[in-house]
Chain A
């Protein structure tokens, strides 16, 4: 029984932290869906967003004032990115665009550090990374409040984005552009507005993800690496699927934690760093388009 309880604890902890990866991966999916750009800078945007948020609070802004200011800033960053980096590169190959976003990641990281310094900061959201007492008392299972909160936020974001994509005019425009930019243009969908909007939304998603990650592990440069963890999530879920990302996040989170606890000791631990990637590679070999991705991958 004790073993089983421990397993549940590990599993649930993994599932919930997987949702935190999903949150980061959502930003990738948004941009990929609408413009076919694999935005490597998403992790840096997460870092910039939360660092600026904390920075604004340090300057004396209250929580509810800092939030809109940061959102406004991220929207500007997203729009500037679209205008200055991606528009001149329209029509280039996927690889070129990927490399441009790697360059963009360098710029954003550098700017964030110049503006706010390199110190590790604490972010207090009022939700702590502590076990929920009620569950601990009644079932003797330790599950973190923050993980639960992240799960709820991730769920809300997915619902909101799903509604945005399927119900609004903008969302239909987005899907049209994703499908065929030229055709979308020809029927009068303002391409550049749509792309700016997507980048702005991705900036806001980055802020949400950053706040949760910042509350958990401190606002520091290592947040950039979270994006690397989000890549296997993307692969498994498929680059274009919002629900896929959530499911994949759960899979990756659970595998990572369970593998670390049960298989890790045989290797001396630390397999968390690459286990998700191996899983992703296995997925690629079996199902290259991911769980829910569109089957547009060219087999080679």
Chain B
């Protein structure tokens, strides 16, 4: 009923290959984007700075992880390490290059992360699966250690917690939550569209071919070296940009301890719960993982009143977290994105489903 493609004919190749072939999708996308831009008018500062900004940023990082894991099939447990590279690179670019535009600094930090990502992606040429996961753990530990150890990265700051520079674009200081939200939204929206385009193009098809069967992909003439390292580079680029935004727009500090292996796991969970190999899933998964604690907090407060033991709630939160992951793996291995797709299919036939 709502989601019917009947009557929409594609009469040219360009129409057939456009990003959103269905009118509903185009309209829906436009409305979503408009609503996203208008959101600060209705959302308060708490929602903007504690939920929406981290949601967009983590969705971007999850997208990066999804490119590597969902599209290219390379299991990685080091995404927080690449985020840390991005965050510190951004801090140093702004610190050391006078008058560098913020957006350029963010993109350059993504490039830095991509280079590091290629280096740590090299083992993927020899190993796969679980072994690769352990190898990527090396990157996680090494990067955080190196950033912590060598004073240059932190500009010899001894406090361990560095306040980030203000976000200045074209001479305007983006200081309020709403302004930061817009900066994040624009960057995330552009990069997401880019990722969607990459994923359906020859690059993405090459990734999927390697994921599904690398030997067959190689026989068809794909260079495994190029495809895999490309996936690592682009994935790390997204993580790096996400890390820079995470530090500048959300935490407002740069510190190695913000990028622990715990964060890597959370990002991994976002991808699994959201749905491997889907763009939409990264956003849904990030929202889900971010909102669980908020939701549980409300429930706990309602259940126990105000004297809630915070260690107890965080432990309970962990249990529910883990249980959710397992439940998803057992019941819906394809994640929230699959549920969304099923809903769309239903809407297509509704109300006459037979």
- Is B205 in the interface zone, CB < 8 Å from A? no
| Contact flags B293-325 to A (C-beta < 8 A → 1, else 0) | 000000000000000000110011111111111
Instruction: Confirm or deny: B133 has a beta carbon within 8 angstroms of a beta carbon on chain A.
Output: yes
The answer to the question of A259 belonging to the interface, with a C-beta cut-off of 8 Å to chain B, is no
A85-105 Cβ-contact flags toward B at 8 Å (1 or 0): 100110010111011101111
Known: A88-B330, A235-B131. A277 touches B142 (CB 8 A): yes
Contact residues of B between 133 and 151, Cβ < 8 Å to A: 133-135, 137-138, 141-142, 145, 148-150
- Complex CA–CA separation, A169 to B13 (angstroms): 66
Most buried by A among B125, B142, B311, B318: B318
- Asked whether B214 lies within 8 Å of A110 as measured between CB atoms, the reply is no
Asked whether, in the complex, the Cβ of A271 is within 8 Å of the Cβ of B326, the reply is no
CB within 8 Å of A: which B45-62 residues: none
Q: Bound state CA distance, A5 and B145, in angstroms?
A: 30
Chain B residues contacting A231 (CB-CB under 8 Å) are 134, 137
> Would you call B128 an interface residue if the criterion is a C-beta within 8 Å of the partner chain's C-beta atoms?
yes
Q: Is the CB of B131 within 8 A of A297?
A: yes
Inter-chain contact B145/A270, CB cutoff 8 Å: yes
Complex CA distance for A190 and B124, rounded to whole angstroms: 37
Establish whether residues A114 and B319, one from each chain, have CB atoms under 8 Å apart when the complex forms.
yes
> Roughly how many angstroms separate A17 CA and B325 CA in the complex, as a whole number?
34
A160 at the interface (CB under 8 A from B): no
The closest CB in chain B to the CB of A84 belongs to B326
Please indicate the chain A residues that have their CB under 8 angstroms from the CB of B148 in the complex.
Answer: 270
The stretch of A54-62, A129-137, A278-286 in contact with B is A278-286
Q: Are B323 and A281 in contact (CB under 8 A)?
A: no
Q: Are A106's CB and B142's CB within 8 A?
A: no
Docked complex Cα distance between A297 and B135 (Å): 15
Instruction: Tell me, rounded to whole Å, the shortest Cβ–Cβ distance linking A260 to chain B.
Output: 12
Looking at chain A's contact residues, is the secondary structure mostly helix, strand, loop, or mixed? helix
- Whether the Cβ atoms of A118 and B319 lie closer than 8 Å is no
A108: chain B residues within 8 A (beta carbon): 322
Question: Interface on chain B toward A: helix, strand, loop, or mixed SS?
Answer: helix
Bound Cα distance from A263 to B330, whole angstroms: 47
The chain B residue with its CB closest to the CB of A286 is B126
Tell whether A126 is near chain B: CB-to-CB under 8 Å. Answer: no
B136 CB to nearest chain A CB (Å): 9
Contact between chains at A228 and B322 (CB < 8 Å): no
Residues 256-270 of chain A: 1 if any B CB is under 8 Å from the residue's CB, otherwise 0?
000000000001101
Residues of chain A within 8 A (CB-CB) of B265 are: 102
Q: CB distance B123 to A281 under 8 Å?
A: yes
The chain A residue sitting closest to B321, CB to CB, is A106
Whether A280 touches B321, Cβ cut-off 8 Å, given contacts A114-B312, A273-B145, is: no
Do B149 and A297 have beta carbons less than 8 Å apart? no
In the bound complex, residues from chain A placing their C-beta under 8 Å from that of B126 are 284-285, 288, 299-300
Nearest-Cβ distance from residue B271 to partner chain A, whole angstroms: 9
CB nearest neighbor in B for A44 = B322
> Which residue of the partner chain, among A88, A94, A103, A284, contacts B135 with CB atoms under 8 Å?
A284
A232 lies within 8 A of chain B by Cβ? yes
User: How far does the alpha carbon of A95 sit from the alpha carbon of B131 in the complex, in Å?
Assistant: 11
* B 180-224 contacts with A by CB, 8 A: 214, 224
Do A107 and B129 touch (CB < 8 A)?
no
Do residues A277 and B137 form an inter-chain contact, with CB atoms below 8 A?
A: yes
Interface flags for B64-93 (1: CB within 8 Å of A; 0: not) read 000000000001000000000000000000
Output the residue of A85, A108, A270, A277 with the most chain B CB within 10 A. Answer: A277
Q: CB-CB contacts of A105-142 with B at 8 A, as 1s and 0s?
A: 11111110110011000000000000000000000000
B333 within 8 A of A: yes
Nearest opposing residue in chain B for A115, CB measure: B315
Q: CA A28 – CA B12 in complex, angstroms?
A: 57
Residue in chain B with minimal CB distance to A277: B138
Q: Does B261 contact A (CB under 8 A)?
A: yes
Interface hits, A226-268 → B, CB 8 Å: 228, 231-232, 234-235, 239, 267-268
Give the Cβ gap from B291 to chain A, nearest Cβ, in Å: 17
* Least CB separation from B313: chain A residue: A114
Q: Is the beta-carbon distance between A297 and B127 smaller than 8 angstroms?
A: yes
Count chain A CB atoms within 10 A of each CB in B123, B126, B261, B326 and give the residue with the most. Answer: B326
* A298 interface hit (Cβ, 8 Å): yes
| B268 part of interface (Cβ distance < 8 Å) | yes
Residue of B nearest to A38 (CB): B130
Cβ contacts under 8 Å, A6 to chain B: none
Contact B141–A280 (Cβ < 8 Å):
no
Of the A-B pairs whose beta carbons lie under 8 Å apart in the complex, a sample of 21, sorted by A's number, is: A95-B129, A99-B272, A102-B269, A102-B325, A103-B324, A104-B322, A106-B322, A107-B318, A107-B322, A107-B323, A109-B318, A113-B311, A114-B316, A270-B148, A271-B145, A273-B145, A274-B138, A277-B137, A278-B138, A285-B126, A300-B125
17 more contacts with CB within 8 A, not counting A106-B318, A288-B126, A288-B131, are A38-B130, A85-B326, A89-B330, A94-B130, A95-B75, A96-B333, A99-B268, A102-B325, A106-B322, A110-B321, A114-B315, A117-B311, A228-B137, A271-B145, A277-B142, A281-B123, A300-B124
Q: Which 5 residue pairs across A and B have the least CB separation, nearest first? A: A106-B322, A103-B325, A110-B318, A277-B138, A110-B319
